[in-house]
Structure formats: C-alpha cells, structure tokens
Amino acid sequence: MTERLEALKERLGQVADIGHASALAHWDQLTMMPPRGGDARAQSLATLSRIGHELFVGDDTERLLDRAAAELNGGDADGDDARLIALTRRQWEKARRVPADLAAELSHASSVGQEAWVAARAASDFAGFVPYLERNVELARRYVECQAGADGFDCAYDVLLDDYEPGMKTTEVNRLFAELKDELVPVIARLSAAEVEIDVRPLTARFPVEGQRALVEEVVTMMGFDRQAWRIDDTVHPFATRVGQGDVRITVRWDERFFPGGLYSAMHECGHGLYEAGISPKLRRTPLGAVDSLGIHESQSRLWENMVGRGRPFASVLAPRIGQLAGGELGGLDPETLYRAVNRVKPSFIRFDADEATYGLHIAIRFELEQALIDGELSVADLPEAWNERYARYLGLQVTDDADGVLQDVHWSAGLFGYFPTYALGNLIAGALWERAGAELDLDAQLAAGELGPLREWLGEHVHRHGAKFTTPELLEREVGGPMSVAPFVHYLKTKLEDVYGLRLSE
C-alpha cells in the first residue's frame, strides 16, 4: 500500500470508528437505555455526527483523495483501491455541501423523534407527534437544498433516495413500481375473489414467548448466527446494525398470539446481519466496508424471510419444532398447513406483517406520501387523511387507528426519507438472486434438510464479500446478467401462489 493511500485509509478509518460509536449508542437507545436518557443520548449522537461529518468533509480529506488518486493513476480501475477512491470522492462531494451544524441537527432530531414516536404510537396520538415530524420534514428539505445545482439530481426526492440507493432516480422507481402494481393488483384481486379456504388459525394460536425465543435461536443459528460475534435483543421496531468488525446486533419483537411476527422478523434481521458480517475483512473501516445500497441490503433480508422462511421446503423444518415448542393448539402442526397459512394473500394494515403480494402496495403508499411531503404538496397535519385515503384505494381497508396507520413505522420519526422504496427494490433484487442461486444449488433439498449453509455461502461469495465495491447495476450485471427487473420476482411469487391456492395466475 502506498503511503498516501495508507494515510487516506487511516482518516476514513477514524470516520468509520465514529460511525461505529454512533451505531452502538443508537442500538442502546432502542434496546437498553432507560426512558429518561433520551435527551442526553440525542445530544451525544448529535455531537458524534458533527465530529464525524467535519472529519470527513475537511480539506485534508480532499487532499488525501487527490494524492492517493495520483499515485494510483494507470492502475486497475476495478481494483479495491481505485473503487475506494471513486466511492469516497462521490460521498465526499455530496457530504461537503452539508454544513456540520445541519448534520448535527439531523442527528439530534432523529434521536428525539424516535423517542417521541415510541410514546405516540403506544397512545395512537398522531397530534402529539406532529411537531417532531414537522421538524424532520423541515430538516430534510434543508438537506435537499444543500444539493441545489449538483449534478445527478433531477428532483428533490432524488437527493434523499440517493442516500439509500445511490444513483437511482425517482422516475426509475416510479416506472418499476408501476410495472409491479400492474402485475400484482390483478393477482391480489384474483386471490381475494377465489373461494379457496386457507386455515390461518395456527398463526394466532398461543405460542409462549419463551418457546418463540428458543425457536428463533435455533433458526438464526442455522442461518449463521454466531454467539461470539452477534447479539439478539428485544425492541419496539426490529432492526439490525453492525457496530464494528465481529459485532453484529439484531433485534426482535414478540407477540404470543402471532408468532410469525417474531420468527420472520428475526430471519429478516439475521439476513441483514449476514450481509454485514460477510463483507471482506480487507474492506473494514473504509466506505467499501459499509453497504452503500439498501436495495441490495433489503434483498438479503427479504430473501431469507420470505423465499426461505415462507417457502415449502423450510416449512418441513419449522412446523415440527413449532409444534414441539408451543404445544397446545400448535402441537402436531403440519408443514403444509404452516406453508399455506404464512402465504395467504389478504390486505392488512401493517406493512411489517404484510404478505408478499400486498407488501409492495404498502411501500408504494409511503413512497408517494414522502414525495408529497418533501415537495410541500402535503402538510404533516394532513398526513393521516392522505394515508387513510390511499389504504382505502389501494388495499380496500378503512384505517381507524393511527397506531395501525400512519404511526406504525419508525422511519419518519428518524428522518429516514428515501428509505422506504428500497424495501420493494429489495424484493426485485431478491427475485433475481433467488433465480440464479436456484440454478446453481439444489435449494429445495438443502432447505428441506435444514441445510442453510450452502445458500449463505453462495450469497457470501456473490454479494456479501464485495461490500460497497460495486453499484447495484454493476452487481446485478455481474451476478444475474442484467438490470433490475420486476420479472424474476413476479415469476417467483406467482409460482408460489399458484402452488398455495391451486389456481392459474400466469397467462
């Protein structure tokens, strides 16, 4: 390694270290922190954000970038070092336009907002949450204004989307979502009208939390959970984070009258954790060692949660253990019953628990509302009405409780505007990866035997180890041979639902 490149990596390592400290403080806030610690934690996170931002955008970073690039001139453009310089420069160009004071304000408002959201959601009190959300929207608009005139952004929402899916355009998301809706809406209508009985009573049968914990521990261990490098804890809204190399945290919430919530959220978050843990150690403490695309990130969690967890093969592993650990009404649970129950298509209020067919509509609603909020076409005070109208129009549901409506997600309380689209993009990417993995592995036999290692290793080789080295389009071209498309996911979903319902859904 050259001296100048080594100096750049050391500076980037310091920025990464500050990010790791912030991740730990944030994890603690949402799992262990006593309620009265919120104000102090918000200030601590704001300070860490300011320090990290100033360190990254400083003139010294630019000089180190220039000198390292000069040393690598003529080298392999696809090598790790060249890719590191290119990614860092892109991130630096965007970050340097944001004042340190604003970066600190964004962090502080995020922390305070999340604490307010927990209380508001518990009381279904949107009015009490309005000031916090208005603050986050105001700050998001100020953040967007910082990028005025910058190349690559065609509208305000592009700026926010770029933080989570670099280079993706709002127009492209609109196009993909329109295609997805055109495919899924008729499927949902067809299945809703079909006179096919699916027994979902097992899903709400009593399953004591102690037994659920044992089941989840077994499942995530099969996936690759490592007690020496991971933790699993309880929280209100499940999430995963990596504090640093060898330190992955995942969280779960429990409901003894709806065990799929805990089981599948654990598989979802463990999927995120496997990605973080699988990044090549040689990329650590650099931007390449932190996942840049949340679409790719979500593809991992959605693949493990749905394609594995809700698939027919793995149901033969899950059902017997559920019966043994829960007993009672769930004693002797049949794999076929479990498989069909967890794949029933039925519009519901909660995104978190939505089936695979209706899930994309939940995301489309949030995507539309976010754009309207940022563009000033919708006020925060009018958000519940707009939310409820779309749930009635898209899903045929009448929302009567804000806790199950506009307050159900943590994202807006944390100022994460632009994040939601990546969930549905993740489904599309997962569909393509699942298709390719299925062509190279004997997935059905392996999953039915509870052998999850081959799939984990395949994903590690084709996705995880690269970290942020490749953009989403580049990674998809390398690993699935083409751009992002709705076709593989739609094919996978229709094939599964035809199996579940015994109906023809494809033309």
Q: Give me the active site residues, please.
A: 269
Chain centre distance of CA 487: 21
DSSP H helix total and E strand total for the chain:
20, 3
248: enclosing H helix or E strand: strand 247-252
- The answer to whether the CB of 306 falls within 8 A of the CB of 314 is no
Distance CA 67, CA 239 (A): 39
**Cβ-based neighbours of 3, under 8 Å, separated by 6 or more:** none
Strand partners, 251: 233
Distance CA 153, CA 148 (A): 9
Which pair of structure tokens corresponds to residue 259? Answer: 């065990």
Whole-angstrom CA distances from 113 to 74, 123, 160, 317, 366 are 48, 15, 18, 41, 18
Whole-angstrom CA distances from 51 to 35, 57, 109, 443, 444 are 26, 10, 17, 47, 49
